[in-house]
Structure 1
Amino acid sequence: MTEALETTDGRDGDSSGEAEEAELLIRVLGALLREDVVGLRTRGTVLERPDGPWLRLPADETAGALLLPLAPDGYQSAYTARLPLLVRESDGARLSTVDAVLTALRALADPEDHEGFDAFAEECRQTLATMRLHARTRDEADTVLTKRHGDDPGAWLGLDGGLAYEALAARLDHPVYPTSRGRAGLDEAQLRAYAPEFRPDFALRWLALPRAAVTVPGGEATLPACWPTTAELGLPHLEGTHLPFPVHPLTLGDALHDALRESGLEGEAVPAESARLSVVPTLSMRTVALTVDPALHLKLPLATATLGLRNRRTIKPRTLIDGAEGQRLLEKVIAREPRFARSVLQADETVYAHAGHELLAVLCRRYPAGLEGSTVVPMAALLGRAPGGRLVIDHLADRYYGGEPLALLDAFLTLLFDWQTTLFGYGIGLESHQQNISLVLDRAAGGTRLRLLFKDNDAPRINTVRLRDTLGADAPDPEDFADPRIFSDGDRPVLDLFTTITLHLCAGSYAFGLARHGRAPLGRLLGLVRDRLAEAAERLGTGAGEPGAALRAAVLDAPELPIKAMVTAGTLLSKERSGAADINKHYASGPNYLLPEALPANSSLRSPRLPTGIF
């Protein structure tokens, strides 16, 4: 492994270095407050001061009291950090670097958690270095995108154009996780060569694995036609006994050697000297699109982590099984709900291979045909900055919605809630966050056509009672799935997923984000979210025992909503300390920003339906 991305200041005259640290520290403090780290919420006291509210975290035996300036939030916490600092009450010292703040908070933590604080501090250093790299290379990256895809970001079409939007999304922060731009252990050269924000091309490396060791559920004939032979890889003597297996270049080295040893393949796997198949990284980085066929993506394990130390970018073989079964389940729902056959698209994820190890796996994802003339943009890119400085959503609104970004928001909220609440009626909740949903936009007879394209449905939550009641004999056997955590006998896990993913990440974040960018008052945007969700719940029926009533009670009218405690479960605490059965589904609670009394005064509680066709 090469040296990690330089995490000292190293600005080389870059005056934005301090600005990046302040931005990161604000996000980190907000996340730690939201997740009640070291009791910031439950032990702290809000003090009203002339410049606004402050939080006082009391002293204990090892440290003095700390003071945090607060601002109203409302998204997933009542308050967030207002200034990038903590103040030590005993001497008035202003702690304004990420390292200083985390050192002070670490002193208040249980000694068992100190290792997690140290890991998070390194995660922050890595992210800060990446943020500074992004700031230095913004113009360079814009030039690459416009040279490859054209000067008008609204006219980047097809799945190839979608790769440009993925590059923009990679420079945007996650709505909740504060260090989302960091990738553990990667240096600047590796990021430039393999990270999506730089829109690089590179070739895959290959291993020849004994055929008997590789599982290909549909048989080798289902693998893509572009799959090289052992002869093409310079290993003709292995033809018939070994199967070529793709490896991401970043996975070569000690991690791969360990995987082969653990799998008992160390003496039987043969690395190919030549690289084959040119690819482009997508937002997830471990998933790459073929340069000659952007409709084919290969998801490959990476020996790194994002969104938390324990959120490794490997591929557990069971997730491949669950992704294929999840796709088949959704196809059954669409067959019963034919209106979605025209508006909901799925990538095919039934072709995969693995050798029983999380670093020896590949998913061959095939996107639907016929998207060449459509705009295919991941939701994660909508609030990204396009070349020239405008938001991606503004460019799309110009092309498809008469320059009205709220009309675009209205259209995708209406379809998104219709689909996701329909799934809830079947007892299904998807972990389809911003990265896993793309908007597909084109012009059809009568105006703009919007469809949603889904991928990565490998971690749903399913209420077996509702599923059997609605699908009957078509309901899958839970034994068909590999992860037993997927199934339960009640709505709670499904509602938690619906709220934290569909509502918070795919709806609420856009209301708060567009308000922050000045596109509309927050009250109007939140009113739009509430109204479209209420309409979708109404379609499910709101009588006693009906699914719409459960949604209304648990989401629209609940005093508080579940929120993801991502830093706590992902890095700060061990699973034993956090109690998280799944680090991506570990929850705290926050305010319900959809309650009528919580909406800002300028909200229109009955949002007019905005026009969605071409103006």
Structure 2
Amino acid sequence: MNQHDYITLRIINACLRENVSGLISQGQITQDSQHQWLTWQSASQTLRLQVDACDYMQPWRAVSPEWQIKTAQGWHSQSGYANWLAALMPDQQPETRELFATYKEEADSAVAQGELCALAFTQQRASLLRSPHEMNWGERLRHADQLASFLDHPYYPTARAKFGFSEADLRQYAPEFCQPFRLRWLALPHQQLTLTAPEARPDWWPLPSQVGLDPQHFARHALIPVHPLTLSQLHDLPEGAVIAPDAWLDVYPTLSVRTVQLADYPDQHLKVPLSMRTLGQKNIRLIKPSTLYDGQWFAEVLTMLGEQDNLLRGKYRHVDERFCGHVAENKQLAFLLRRYAAPRTGETLLPVAALGSKLPDGRYYLSSLLEQPGMPDVAEWWREYCQLMADVHLTLWLRYGIALESNQQNAVLSLTPNEALTLVMKDNDAARILPERFAAACPHLAERLITLRDPRICVSDEAALAQMFITITLQLCLAAVLESLTAGALIDREAGYQTLRHALEQSLARLESEGVDTAFARQQLFACSTQPVKYLLLSGSLLSKQASGAADINKFYGQSGPNFLLREKR
């Protein structure tokens, strides 16, 4: 299937999943002798789409990137995402019509960039096929991110599009190409810059002379890193600020693009603002200064919980994110330094996003890692992974009232020969917390709650925690991985879901034995016929914030996904 048809089919299925323009709620399912059809009618036309029943994320799934339009002469075939978006575009809502039209541009970008990245995958065959023992720890981490970058987001149909990147930008700064480049630097009068932990500044941080500035004239200035693509966007700089003439510090792009790995210090990453949009046109990859503080709050609290809780102890490490800087509330002038813990012997850190990745020879990347001596087979690894995720995230939710937005990019696994699988946590600035439960479980930490900056973090309803757990941990980090591995016959689908359910039940039973109330979680996980689904396409691109009513575009849900945990569904 070519890229255009591939993106068209992904968009159609996202629209079915999110009931765009009432496709599911207003459509009708019929069956003839050969096919099942979804028929949907707007004010101006009637279309029908061949579908199959589905028990994962959506009740109906399109089988091809084509559909039919009813005409006076009968049914006429159509294809292409431009025609699909035009068919679904609301007639009487100018703002939404404009968003539909702009989304077509994002789809164009996804096709063009998809073709370019597919070519890069072929051209980099030799380097992508390197085995783990041929690389050091930092190279393995970079290799995992690069392989993950070739695999599309499971649910957002045009995630391939780095909206705002030219072809030249992609080749130089995208993780698919994994090319080194140098950061730019901005000199600011000391009083303009706020550092969260000045004492944590690394020894390698540049001096003015290293970036082409006169050391005497800039003795009272501080330096902050700037992504080269952000440099041209810097207007109205603070008084006394100067862009350093020389680039300095060799770095590589990581999966997040705006976070880069230091070439000479691979265990350290810098997160810098980037004027790029991903996962929707409202998701500009800048840095809101308040997130630096909230992220550090969770880094400290999660580390303490991991040390004191018998179910969490030894299950995860959190990266050090203390050293950050920002200029007032300017989202373009901020940075975060991320330091990973000392590498373990033979350790490979890989984001969950890489678990479904394939190598150029057709093998699964995960299979190549598990072929190393001292590693489990795939079935045992899946059991261990399910239990790890269930233990960590159910304990945080039910005992402490914390639900982490640890998506496939931020959830990192430590895979080490002859050692238990563990997690490496990072970037937890958008979690949700139920203050009453947290305060009851951690009275010595309760006073910290008032220091959280984003008012959306503290919630009053446990449903918000359930939605986060189900849509992030359960769907993105577990079910999406399982579906990828079963597609390649690495795991039997039926057995894989039974393993997942068993892991969840094991964790719940253990928490219950320690006096934790699990009734609400059991009801949400094992009794509801449907699951919440993140409506990423609607909130990120097709609806205005006013139309969706979402306070956070990354947390806009519909209760429409079939519950794949129900026994009768398996």
Query: 1:24 matched to which residue of 2?
Result: 7
Structure 2: distance between partners of 1:452 and 1:532:
16
The amino acid across from 1:429 in the alignment is A
Structure 2: distance between partners of 1:486 and 1:478:
10
Q: Give 5+ residue unaligned stretches, structure 2.
A: none
Cα distance change, pair 211–402 in 1 and its aligned pair in 2 (3 A): closer
- 1:578-597 mapped onto 2 (5 Å cutoff): 578-589=548-559, 590-597=561-568
The amino acid across from 1:160 in the alignment is E
Cα distance change, pair 343–157 in 1 and its aligned pair in 2 (3 A): farther
TM-superposition CA deviations, 1:234-279 (whole Å, max 9, x none): 21244332111110011111x212xxx2xx61x5211111110000
Query: 1:441 matched to which residue of 2?
Result: 415
Query: 1:417 matched to which residue of 2?
Result: 390
Query: 1:234 matched to which residue of 2?
Result: 212
Structure 2: distance between partners of 1:109 and 1:572:
14
The offset of 1:181, in angstroms, is: 1.1
Indicate whether 1:315 and 2:287 are aligned: yes
Query: 1:55 matched to which residue of 2?
Result: 38
Query: 2:164 matched to which residue of 1?
Result: 185
The amino acid across from 1:67 in the alignment is R
Query: 1:88 matched to which residue of 2?
Result: 69
Query: 1:365 matched to which residue of 2?
Result: 338
Residues 229, 239 of structure 1: 8 Å contact kept: no
Residues 210, 269 of structure 1: 8 Å contact kept: yes
The offset of 1:143, in angstroms, is: 2.7
| Alignment equivalent of 1:346, drawn from 318, 333, 346 | 318
Query: 2:353 matched to which residue of 1?
Result: 380
2:414 is paired with a residue of what secondary structure? strand
Residues 182, 251 of structure 2: 8 Å contact kept: yes
| Alignment equivalent of 1:531, drawn from 493, 496, 502 | 502
TM-superposition CA deviations, 1:277-334 (whole Å, max 9, x none): 0001110000001000111100001001100000111110011111000111112211
Query: 1:558 matched to which residue of 2?
Result: 528
Query: 1:276 matched to which residue of 2?
Result: 248
1:196 is paired with a residue of what secondary structure? coil
State the superposition RMSD in angstroms: 1.8
Structure 2: distance between partners of 1:509 and 1:107:
31
1:325 is paired with a residue of what secondary structure? helix
The amino acid across from 2:508 in the alignment is A
Structure 2: distance between partners of 1:542 and 1:582:
36
The offset of 1:153, in angstroms, is: 4.8
- 1:152-301 mapped onto 2 (5 Å cutoff): 152-153=131-132, 156-219=135-198, 221-236=199-214, 237-253=216-232, 255-257=233-235, 261=236, 265=238, 267-301=239-273
TM-superposition CA deviations, 1:212-242 (whole Å, max 9, x none): 11110222x4222111111222212443321
Indicate whether 1:105 and 2:88 are aligned: yes
2:512 is paired with a residue of what secondary structure? coil
The amino acid across from 2:105 in the alignment is E
The offset of 1:72, in angstroms, is: 2.3
Query: 2:540 matched to which residue of 1?
Result: 570
1:362 is paired with a residue of what secondary structure? strand
- Percent of pairs identical after alignment? 35
Residues 85, 101 of structure 1: 8 Å contact kept: no
Residues 58, 65 of structure 1: 8 Å contact kept: yes
Structure 1: distance between partners of 2:373 and 2:37:
45
- The answer to which of 470-479 and 310-319 deviates more is 470-479
Residues 542, 548 of structure 1: 8 Å contact kept: no
Structure 2: distance between partners of 1:371 and 1:66:
57
Query: 1:460 matched to which residue of 2?
Result: 431
- The answer to which of 291-300 and 86-95 deviates more is 86-95
The offset of 1:136, in angstroms, is: 1.9
Residues 145, 199 of structure 1: 8 Å contact kept: no
1:246 is paired with a residue of what secondary structure? strand
- 1:489-504 mapped onto 2 (5 Å cutoff): 489-504=460-475
Query: 1:114 matched to which residue of 2?
Result: 97
The offset of 1:104, in angstroms, is: 1.6
TM-superposition CA deviations, 1:478-501 (whole Å, max 9, x none): 321110110123311111101100
- 1:393-412 mapped onto 2 (5 Å cutoff): 393-399=366-372, 404-412=377-385
* TM-score scaled by length of structure 1: 0.88
Indicate whether 1:514 and 2:485 are aligned: yes
* TM-score scaled by length of structure 2: 0.95
Structure 2: distance between partners of 1:155 and 1:537:
41
Structure 2: distance between partners of 1:51 and 1:196:
44
Structure 1: distance between partners of 2:40 and 2:201:
57
TM-superposition CA deviations, 1:168-224 (whole Å, max 9, x none): 1011011111111111121111101000011110000011112111110222x4222
1:179 is paired with a residue of what secondary structure? coil
TM-superposition CA deviations, 1:422-480 (whole Å, max 9, x none): 1112100000111112211222xxx3431111111111100111101111122243321
Residues 154, 392 of structure 1: 8 Å contact kept: no
Structure 2: distance between partners of 1:143 and 1:514:
24
The amino acid across from 2:485 in the alignment is L
The offset of 1:157, in angstroms, is: 4.8
Residues 411, 426 of structure 2: 8 Å contact kept: yes
TM-superposition CA deviations, 1:366-403 (whole Å, max 9, x none): 00013353111111101111242211111122226767
1:307 is paired with a residue of what secondary structure? coil
| Alignment equivalent of 2:275, drawn from 287, 303, 322 | 303
TM-superposition CA deviations, 1:521-547 (whole Å, max 9, x none): 32211111111111111111189x943
The amino acid across from 1:554 in the alignment is Q
Query: 2:445 matched to which residue of 1?
Result: 474
